Every structure is written in C-alpha cells, then in structure tokens.
Amino acid sequence: MMRSRSSSSGGPTSFVTTETRITVESFDPSRHDRSGFSCGVPAMDRWFSASISDQIKRNRLRVRCAVADDGTLVGFYGLAAHSVDPTSAGALTSRRERHPIPAICLVALGTDVNWHGQGLGSALMADTLARALSVSTDIGATAVVLDVLDDAHHAERMAFYERLGFAPIDPDQHPNRLFLSMKAIEAALAAS
C-alpha cells in the first residue's frame, strides 16, 4: 500500500511504502541511471533508455522519474502537449466544435518489473493526473489523452485505465485512444 504526499510547488512528490520511500522528480540524465530499468516491454525500455533525452532537449516531452530511497529508478511517466481533432473525438467535443481540442498526452508510464503489483503504477498515475490538472490551469487543456499499447498485456492495461475512469475518445475508430476529462480529474482528486 502506498501513500502519497504531493508537492504544490511542482517539486518532487513522495510516496511511502512500508519498506521504501519513493520520490517522483523531473528527469535528470546525470542522476537517473536508466541502464538497469526494465518495465517488461522491450520497445518501451529501448525508448526510455535511448530516446527521451533527445525528446526533452527538443521540448517534445517532459519526464518524471520515480526513485527509491537508495537512488534506484523504479518508474517514470512522460507528458506532452497535445491536441485532438474534433472530428475524431466525439466524446470530447461540443456541438459545432471546429478547432483542435487542447489536451495533455500521457506519452508513457512504466514501472520496473521488480515493482509490478505494488501500487507504484497507481501512485504514478495519481501524480500524473495531479500534474496535468495543475498544468491545465495555466495552458488550458480539456483532458488527459493516452494510447494503450496493444500487446499481450493490452486487456490488463485497458482495465487499469478504465478503473481510473478513462474512456475511449472514439470507440469505433480509435478504441485504444482513451481520455479522462480535467473535470473528472479535478473531482477525483478533490474526493481523495
């Protein structure tokens, strides 16, 4: 069971387990050794290990890392600005919507295989949603959007996100693209 303590200043967030304190902080290649990290999805591990630094430098992505009290990187998530075409997002649009709908994209979320099943993914998701809500007050964003990886664990991932309230943007055309509105995020965080 994890308990979280969020930072309202945008600084690190802490999660505490019965054995380990986890801090979530902005990615820093000099402090966050990715070489031993594996979430169990080889393509995501390669992306996380080889591509995020370049994407961060090009302002395409921001990554937050979950670090155990011994300095081990145990999880991460990446967020990016995004927009959704109103013609392919019936669940997000209002009548006569013509312009792209601003959103925040959860590009990726991963936990090290040694931490699977311990609540770290849910704790990182809570941090993700709180950060997205905070950012949306400054830039305007309607929802958090994500694409569910379609692999052998697809059904588990879909169930995880659906339990959190995510729903398909367009079930017929894009069943793996999910969203959670900022209003729903705000209500869920206020209730917790």
Domain boundary assignment for the chain: 3-191
pTM listed for this prediction:
0.86
- Per-residue CA distances from 72 to 31, 51, 112, 125 (Å): 10, 20, 10, 19
- pLDDT at 62 > cutoff 70: yes
40: region left, alpha or beta (phi > 0 left; psi from -120 to 50 alpha): left
The answer regarding whether domain 3-191 maps to CATH 2.40.10.10 reads: no
- pLDDT at 10 > cutoff 70: no
- Higher-pLDDT residue of 27 and 18 is 27
Averaged pLDDT, 28-48: 93
Closest by CA position to 66, among listed 21, 108, 29, 105: 21
Position 45 scores a pLDDT of 95
Assess contact for 117 and 72: CB atoms under 8 A: no
**Phi, psi (rounded to 5 degrees) for 33:** -80, 115
DSSP state of 189: H
pLDDT single digits (tens) 74-107: 999 999 999 887 666 665 666 676 788 899 999 9
Position of tokens 């400054």?
Answer: 138
Position 9 scores a pLDDT of 46
Mean pLDDT of the chain: 87
Question: 3-state DSSP call for residue 120?
Answer: helix
Position 152 scores a pLDDT of 87
